[in-house]
Amino acid sequence: MNMQYTTETSELLSEAKKSVLFTAELPSVVMERGEGMFLWDTKGKRYLDFIGGWAVTCLGHSPTILQDALHQQASTLVNCSPSFFNKPMIEFASLLTQVSCYDRVFFTSTGAEANEGAIKLARKHGSINLGGAYEIITVINGFHGRTLAMMSATGKKHWEKLFAPKVSGFRHVPLNDIPSALAAVNPNTCAIMLELVQGEGGVHAADPEYVYQLRKACDAHGLMLIFDEIQTGIGRTGKLFAYEHYGIEADVMTLGKGLGGGFPLSAMLTKEPFNLFEPGDQGGTYSG
């Protein structure tokens, strides 16, 4: 039986090398199923999973509650398109506004997509309220996703020349450096965006005084403050959202990863004064 599993795995790996686009060196195992905190490969070997699907399987692998929810919804309605409201959309948006300080929710599929929505909203704010301001201040070694614009927003040194030319309009400053952040504000600035705890940057937390000064500067200049809580949201820091540790609210917050428990789901949340999109400004096939 083990020989059968070994042969199957070898065939799958051979096929993967021929048909799956190369983006990274992956180990020579093929995962087949998961339960709780464990994964099993096609040879039947069990692994204690410390990766969690890159921090998405917050309830473990294949929890019954997620199976039941997916089965129930798949047998009721899969996609009526974003041209209509649907019941789960309304119920979940209502829940998120009840448990957070935000008033409106826009659903997307990935964290990068939610962050793209936040950047669009920030530039809409700049266009309407700040005389056409479009620049967003972000943090060195922050991480906001892998779309072209989010790679531009992300302050990674080794990404600077990758896929050039980048999307312009981002100014990067050091984390917890208040003078640098304040000095970066100029007439073209429309927003400041940061993770309250950097993820890929090395798990560095923003200092409370730093966050306070950013909020103060945004209030003084009419800028939008954006918290990227793709990784820190949904209980990862001991509170439902990391901003609760600071007692400071951003104008916009993005969520992902644990929001769907392993299912691709993300969201951009905003306060009512920034409910600025007009028909045609924002959308997406899976944004409902």
Per-residue tokens: 158: 């080794």
134/113 Cα distance (integer angstroms): 19
CB contact at 8 A, 17 and 50: no
Give yes or no: 271 in active site: no
Other C-beta atoms closer than 10 Å to the C-beta of 7 total 10
Give yes or no: 143 in active site: yes
For CA atoms 269, 275, 281, 284, the dihedral sign is positive
Catalytic entry in 227, 241, 257, 274: 257
Catalytic entry in 107, 143, 170, 274: 143
Cα diameter, the chain: 70
Per-residue tokens: 39: 């994964």
Reported as type and span, the H/E element at residue 153 is: helix 148-153
Other C-beta atoms closer than 10 Å to the C-beta of 145 total 22
Cα 150–Cα 108–Cα 52 angle in degrees, nearest 5: 80
Give yes or no: 228 in active site: yes
Peptide bond connecting 174 to the previous residue in cis, omega within 30 degrees of 0: no
252/233 Cα distance (integer angstroms): 13
Q: Which residues touch 84 (CB under 8 Å, ≥6 apart)?
A: 288
CB contact at 8 A, 103 and 253: no
Residue (of 183, 195, 204, 263) closest to 230 by Cα position: 195
Q: What are phi and psi of 156, to 5 degrees?
A: -100, 125
| Matching residue, tokens 């208040």 | 178
Catalytic entry in 124, 228, 241, 251: 228
Residues involved in catalysis: 143, 228, 257
